[in-house]
């Protein structure tokens, strides 16, 4: 496995691989790798000849310096996990390599980033869009794989690639969960034992809403009431947002529901000492039974971007 630290070296390798007619897949990460990241590598391997993974904690997507400082870092363990997963090359640049002195260029996606996480983290998606653009230009991949846990981020990246004409396929990968339903996240490492016990309330809330929709509930207010009630059972949990959105446009879902809808959650768990705690996100696409039947019928036309995800 090759470890690369400069953009120039990565671009040269990409040029050589492309000249040899080999497909490149990129898995962008901020490290602290877990089984969810390994699943992205597996999907990448099924779609390409070479699998590259980036390890870079991007400072521009953090709204608070303290949050950046607390982000888990485990570089040696991450490299070992990459070797075990069969990654061909790891791109691990220094901050100065990605943001040279005097950097003043940003990439921004306007509408898709206004709500949900963008409402409370105004600079976050500008940082994500910028670093993803830099990684795509550095690695020149044919395909890049992102997890669906960060649903808004995935929608934004798809829009960015379309709008800026990047020659790359963006693939969304299903959420990987712990046995108790908690979505795998690098931030889970910052959960103390009691908060970890309460954290699956997000998954339970999603399940409660899914059951209700399957039973015929279509009222948005009632579904969000069920979500709030489930999360309210966790004493340390405070809802940042719980919203129903169109899975493609991220616009507010119609009420009552008539088609698949994204239920997106962000919950902050307060630390017992009054510190800011840990913020977790999760989501699920709720599909009313009639919509499920319609979505399963592919004869009407090509699949949507959502349906193309593995």
Exposed/middle/buried for residue 58 (C-beta within 10 Å: 0-12, 13-18, 19+): buried
Tokens of 125: 């998606």
Contact (CB, 8 A) for 22 and 49: yes
Contacts made by residues 276-281, CB under 8 angstroms, sequence distance 24+? 276/64, 276/66, 276/67, 277/195, 277/236, 278/187, 278/190, 278/191, 278/195, 279/187, 279/240, 280/183, 280/185, 280/187, 280/188, 280/199, 280/202, 281/117, 281/149, 281/150, 281/183, 281/202
Active site residue 34: no
What is the radius of gyration, based on Cα positions, of the chain? 20
Q: 37, 124, 142, 225: which one is catalytic? A: 37
Closest alpha carbon to 69 in 59, 54, 55? 59
Contact 277, 237 (CB under 8 A): no
Report the catalytic residues: 37
């Amino acid at each position: 496995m090759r470890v690369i630290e400069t953009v120039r070296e990565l671009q040269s390798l990409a040029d050589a691989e492309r000249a040899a007619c080999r497909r490149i897949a990129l898995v962008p990460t901020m490290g602290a790798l877990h089984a969810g990241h390994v699943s992205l590598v597996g999907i990448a391997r099924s779609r390409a000849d070479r699998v590259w993974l980036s390890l870079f904690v991007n400072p521009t997507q953090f709204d608070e310096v303290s949050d950046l400082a607390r982000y888990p870092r485990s570089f040696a363990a991450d490299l070992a996990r990459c070797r075990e997963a069969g990654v061909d090359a790891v791109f691990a640049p220094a901050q100065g390599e990605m943001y040279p002195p005097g950097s003043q260029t940003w990439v921004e996606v306007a509408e898709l980033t206004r709500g949900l996480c963008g409402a409370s983290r105004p600079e976050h998606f500008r940082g994500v869009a910028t670093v993803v653009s830099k990684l795509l230009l550095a690695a020149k991949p044919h395909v890049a794989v992102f997890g669906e846990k960060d649903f808004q981020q995935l929608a934004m990246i798809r829009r960015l690639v379309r709008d800026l004409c990047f020659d790359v396929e963006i693939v969304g990968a299903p959420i990987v969960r712990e046995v108790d339903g908690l979505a795998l996240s690098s931030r889970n490492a910052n959960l103390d034992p009691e908060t970890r016990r309460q954290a699956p309330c997000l998954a339970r809330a999603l399940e409660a809403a899914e059951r209700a929709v399957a039973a015929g509930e279509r009222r948005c207010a009632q579904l969000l009431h069920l979500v709030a009630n489930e999360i309210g059972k966790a004493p340390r949990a405070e809802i940042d947002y719980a919203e129903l959105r169109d899975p493609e446009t991220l616009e507010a879902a119609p009420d009552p529901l008539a088609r698949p809808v994204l239920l997106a959650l962000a919950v902050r768990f307060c630390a017992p000492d009054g510190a800011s705690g840990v913020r977790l996100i999760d989501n699920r696409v709720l599909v009313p039974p009639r919509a499920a039947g319609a979505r399963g019928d592919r004869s009407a036309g090509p699949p949507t971007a959502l349906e193309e995800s593995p």
